[in-house]
Chains A and B, each alone.
Chain A
Amino acid sequence: MKEKKVRQKSARNISMYAVYVALAFIFSYIESLFPISVGIPGVKPGFANIVIVYIIYTSGRPSSVLTVTLLRTVLLACTFGNLSTLLYSVCGGLLSASVMFILYKTNLFSVFGVSIAGGVTHNAGQLAVAALILDTKELIYYYPILLITGMTAGFAVGYIANICIKRIRRPSGMISNNNN
């Protein structure tokens, strides 16, 4: 029964994905207009993560989370970046989304903890890819500072996502498990 329902709703899910991807894309774009230059790559609020956290909590399905993450990062890199930025952002995005999803499933953390973990692992993924591509292990020197900025960003994202999850009416098409 449930399988059938899922299939029937797939068209609506696809359009919801499109809305989510567009939203995340716009967040990233606006963010890129106000670059924060502290002399370290990777320091940014990551407001696109609000969308990802929101999807994790409202749909609760790994496929939705990964689809939107992948589409967002690929589209963004195609529009504003190049092949190497694509690698950084895909690895950072996928790692962060997976970690957030797993932590959400364990139910050990609130939205804040989940999104902080997401912010921190996003930086870790990007830095790891950068260190591999550039073959510069010294990049690890950046990580302590990125931990703090990633955590701060994750906290802000968690705060906003928390409000969104509480206030925005669930799209009726998404199969949601309202256990939060």
Chain B
Amino acid sequence: MKRNDFILIAVILIISIFSIFAFRSFSENGDYAVISLNGVEYAAYPLSDDREVKIGDSGTSYNVINIEDKKVYISDADCPDHICVNHRAISKTGETIICLPHKLSVTIKKSVPDNVSFDAATE
């Protein structure tokens, strides 16, 4: 290995550790889970109420999103990789669970975006 290799490793480590701490310190407890589908904000739910929402249907593709103790996680989905299901529960602003195969993302926010119908019920 060359000296430059070690410099590269050091720089990457510093950037990543620094930005992990930066993201941590900027985030606070969020109030809403905003669900986006195909890049469009689709629905928002307050974290204060526990609930279970199924997005999509079993015939094509679905994700089951759970809100529990002010935390959000995906309990079930029929995507091939199940990365979203294995993701830990999120609760801080900016934290996101994404399901790439279904183009779905759940993001924690402090307030509901204007264009999203609050509590768009799909149950």
- Give residues in A with beta carbon < 8 Å to B: 35, 37-41, 82, 84-85, 88, 108-110, 112-113, 116-117, 120, 130, 133-136, 138-139, 141-145, 147-148, 151, 155
Contacts and interface: CB of A to CB of B under 8 A. Distances in A.
A41 B13 contact: no
Contacts of B9: 116, 151, 155
B83 A40 contact: yes
A46 B10 CA distance: 21
Nearest to A120: B12
Given A85-B101, A113-B1, A136-B39, A141 B15 contact: no
B23 A41 contact: no
B44 to A, nearest CB: 14
Given A138-B107, A139-B98, A116 B20 contact: no
Contact of A88 (B86, B100, B105): B100
A139 B105 CA distance: 9
11 contacts: A35-B81, A84-B101, A109-B5, A113-B4, A116-B5, A130-B100, A134-B38, A135-B39, A138-B96, A144-B23, A148-B16
Contacts of A84: 100-101, 103
Query: For the complex, would chain A's binding face be called helix, strand, loop or mixed by DSSP majority?
Result: helix
Query: For the complex, would chain B's binding face be called helix, strand, loop or mixed by DSSP majority?
Result: mixed
The 10 closest A-B pairs by CB, nearest first: A135-B39, A113-B5, A39-B87, A147-B16, A144-B16, A138-B96, A37-B86, A144-B19, A144-B20, A110-B2
Interface residues of B, number: 33
Nearest to A37: B86
A170 to B, nearest CB: 23
Nearest to A149: B16
Interface string B28-71: 00000000101110000000000000000000000000000000
A90 B36 CA distance: 24
A101 B40 CA distance: 37
B52 to A, nearest CB: 20
Given A84-B101, A141-B23, 6 more contacts: A82-B101, A84-B103, A109-B2, A117-B8, A133-B103, A155-B9
Contacts of A116: 5, 8-9, 12
B100 A41 contact: yes
B33 to A, nearest CB: 12
B1 A112 contact: yes
Nearest to B100: A41
Contacts of A133: 39, 103
A38 B86 CA distance: 7
A38 B85 CA distance: 11
A84 B38 CA distance: 11
